[in-house]
Amino acid sequence: MSFDWADYLTLAQELSGDKPKVSPSREAKLRSAISRAYYAAHGTGRNHLRAVDNDKTIPSGGEAHQYVINKFIGSSDKDRVGVGSELKRLRADRNKAGYEEGLALAKLEFMVRTDLLLSGLVLTALKSMPPATAPGTGGTAPTGP
């Protein structure tokens, strides 16, 4: 059976505090959770590049998604590459959840569990990640004398 995309409106009503006429479907909640897990990681990664690495070249539109992934994956630092790889996986799952009909609930439930874990790992890694040596270099800043 195809996903009823109108269930997103019911979920949006519930999330906004409005009283929906019916409860949102489990599938709508799972798909939305996958999306939110990705955006938590993407937004935090983008803000890290902007604030910590002082990257002033991040695109403001949809191109920012691939830019952020590429910036981390293109680094010589293994922790940054790991963040980029996880962002790439999270984005692929977000696109599946947002566009593919007919995903089995079991598949969506697995994706949610995995993506919540991956997003948490990205956020944890970014909290302790030092700045890149210079914008565009992809390396890490030197530490100590």
Residues 35-60: tens digit of each pLDDT = 999 999 999 999 999 999 999 999 99
**Residue 50 tokens, joined:** 């902007």
The answer to the question of residue 122 being in a domain is yes
Mean of the per-residue pLDDT values for the chain?
89
> What's residue 116's pLDDT?
96
The answer to the question of residue 63 being in a domain is yes
Query: 31: which residues sit within 8 A by CB, 6+ positions away?
Result: 3, 8, 97, 98, 108
| pLDDT per residue as tens digits for the range 62-112 | 999 999 999 999 999 999 999 999 999 999 999 999 999 999 999 999 999
The answer to the question of residue 96 being in a domain is yes
> What's residue 32's pLDDT?
96
The answer to the question of residue 136 being in a domain is no
Structural domain boundaries enclosing 41:
24-127
The answer to the question of residue 144 being in a domain is no
